Chains A and B, each alone.
Chain A
């Protein structure tokens, strides 16, 4: 990674942090738990790196580490999104 790309990536990182601040500040406390479990699932985006490490596995050790990473990240992603949906499904405006 050249220094230019590195700087460019840091720009993206900092700007994304600001977008995050702007959006999350407005979320009402009512939704803080689903927000947290949903954003937790988003942090499972590491799965992309895990897939590349595993699939391109140049050494057996690298592949095994990648495989473990895929498992952990996938638990995070699948479990996180599903439990968020389960919670949000319970939030109702009117009672039955």
Chain B
């Protein structure tokens, strides 16, 4: 029986791997997700057949309550709120790992091997850091907490001390497992560490944090797998751990920052608050919606560069309406998506897909950067730092070295923006004052709606 059970768990692990593989292409992604679902269902069913399970009442209660909340959340969540949802779900995963490890501790009987005890402590540590860290990330993304970094003197040393203390307590616990105090102190310290390690990270760096917490939630699941000696948890957790780490790295590269810099440097403000103006008066060319339409009428190609401001203004649907009208007029319309557009990896693609934009029109930075020079109009909506040319040449700037979209190579640059305020990086954007730039001041949704109305008439 044990052999058959193990083989079914292996089948489940294989299906997880195939599922992730299929998630890698837009054509097969839905199937990939379905395969992963099947893998999970299989793992749950095999587990329910386990003879160690004596009582099903609590299990059924848990599954029903959990499913109801999960279904509700999945149906109700706005696509703009996906980062918050993923953040809090990461937290739930971590919390579950902590609870399972704690529950296993209370079910230990007789002498237990040191390696089991060590994995219990590790599982509680990672799970709890993931749990509280994710809640802080959620609170920042949801606007419950301010996005600005919160720092205190000696923060890094403090976090380092917590980790050292956890290791010492972990060793104490394995020496004398009957005494649960060290384990509970680890739990408390881990909860604190989750908070103190996420609060210094600014709102604009949230894509990195969510990716990292995603990785932690996988590692927490894997640690639980060690506790209960179950390979499907180890494999599933390892896959997620790896996936989260890769996304973390991609986000760091897209901002030209090291992970250490993101985690510890406390970069960023709430965005737009501080004026980075150097005091000198610079001229901008103002355009109205009418002027913009006239220019679009005479153009043959336009590349739209959407930023998070677009999503905040909920302008993606009307933008797609505009794009369709322009295409009907014979324009070639493409979208250029910077890797950190939006608030989590790939977020902008989802927001535009929701607005019915074909994914074949969505181009990633490297695929489109050479096209700007042959394009009549680069239309920037709600984006700032990702098109700021100082990233190329101003060495003392926080943006320096970040790969940007080459919008300034287009023949004309149109920017829809509420004001000349700075972006998350707090850096003034010389593109606003460029000769070929036309500024359309106003709310993204209002401005695009106006353009659509003029185009229609």
**Which residues of the partner chain A approach B92 to less than 8 Å between Cβ atoms?**
44, 72-73, 75-76
Q: How far is the CB of A25 from chain B (nearest CB, A)?
A: 6
Contact B229 A28 (CB under 8 A): no
A-contacting 9-mer, from B157-165, B236-244, B376-384, B420-428: B236-244
Q: Which of A1-60 contact B (CB under 8 A)?
A: 1-3, 5-6, 9, 12-14, 16-21, 23-59
Contact A36 B247 (CB under 8 A): yes
Measured in the bound complex, the distance between the Cα atoms of B19 and A71 in whole Å is 24
Contact B58 A83 (CB under 8 A): no
Contact B241 A17 (CB under 8 A): yes
Q: How far is the CB of B400 from chain A (nearest CB, A)?
A: 23
Measured in the bound complex, the distance between the Cα atoms of B205 and A57 in whole Å is 42
In this assembly, does B104 line the interface, its C-beta being within 8 Å of a C-beta of chain A? yes
Given A3-B115, A88-B30, check contact A19 B239 (CB 8 Å): yes
Closest residue of chain B to A18 (Cβ to Cβ) is B242
Picked from B100, B224, B242, B360, the residue with its CB within 8 Å of the CB of A20 is B242
Measured in the bound complex, the distance between the Cα atoms of B238 and A78 in whole Å is 20
**Which residues of the partner chain A approach B412 to less than 8 Å between Cβ atoms?**
none
A-B contact count (CB 8 A): 403
Contact A54 B350 (CB under 8 A): no
Contact A46 B59 (CB under 8 A): no
Picked from B29, B43, B362, the residue with its CB within 8 Å of the CB of A34 is B29
Contact A70 B62 (CB under 8 A): yes
**Which residues of the partner chain B approach A77 to less than 8 Å between Cβ atoms?**
40, 66, 70
A-contacting 9-mer, from B77-85, B146-154, B276-284, B445-453: B77-85
In this assembly, does B218 line the interface, its C-beta being within 8 Å of a C-beta of chain A? yes
A-contacting 9-mer, from B194-202, B264-272, B287-295, B351-359: B351-359
**Which residues of the partner chain A approach B229 to less than 8 Å between Cβ atoms?**
1, 5, 9
Closest residue of chain A to B355 (Cβ to Cβ) is A90
Binary interface encoding of chain A residues 68-96 relative to chain B, with 1 for a CB under 8 A from any of its CBs, else 0: 11111111111111111111111111111
In this assembly, does B54 line the interface, its C-beta being within 8 Å of a C-beta of chain A? yes
Contact B228 A49 (CB under 8 A): yes
Q: How far is the CB of A19 from chain B (nearest CB, A)?
A: 6
Contact B99 A33 (CB under 8 A): no
Size class of the B contact interface (CB-based, 8 Å): 35 or more
- Using a Cβ–Cβ cut-off of 8 Å, how many residues does chain A contribute to the interface with B? 87
Contact A84 B235 (CB under 8 A): no
Closest residue of chain B to A11 (Cβ to Cβ) is B234
Contact A93 B62 (CB under 8 A): no
Contact B20 A23 (CB under 8 A): yes
In this assembly, does B263 line the interface, its C-beta being within 8 Å of a C-beta of chain A? no
In this assembly, does B184 line the interface, its C-beta being within 8 Å of a C-beta of chain A? no
Contact A76 B40 (CB under 8 A): no
Measured in the bound complex, the distance between the Cα atoms of B225 and A87 in whole Å is 30
Picked from B53, B55, B231, B236, the residue with its CB within 8 Å of the CB of A42 is B236
Measured in the bound complex, the distance between the Cα atoms of B85 and A18 in whole Å is 28
Closest residue of chain B to A3 (Cβ to Cβ) is B115
Most buried by A among B36, B40, B62, B237: B62
Contact B17 A40 (CB under 8 A): no
Contact A49 B55 (CB under 8 A): no
Closest residue of chain B to A14 (Cβ to Cβ) is B238
Q: How far is the CB of B153 from chain A (nearest CB, A)?
A: 34
Given A51-B47, A55-B55, check contact A45 B237 (CB 8 Å): yes
Picked from A26, A53, A66, A94, the residue with its CB within 8 Å of the CB of B24 is A26
Q: How far is the CB of B434 from chain A (nearest CB, A)?
A: 28
Closest residue of chain B to A86 (Cβ to Cβ) is B74
**Which residues of the partner chain B approach A16 to less than 8 Å between Cβ atoms?**
234-235, 238-239, 242
Q: What are 10 inter-chain pairs, A to B, with CB distance below 8 A?
A: A12-B234, A23-B24, A29-B364, A30-B349, A37-B86, A43-B93, A45-B16, A45-B221, A75-B92, A81-B33
A positions within 8 Å CB-CB of B: 1-3, 5-6, 9, 12-14, 16-21, 23-59, 61-63, 65-96
- 7 closest A-B pairs (Cβ-Cβ)? A74-B66, A20-B242, A32-B346, A70-B62, A55-B53, A78-B70, A79-B70
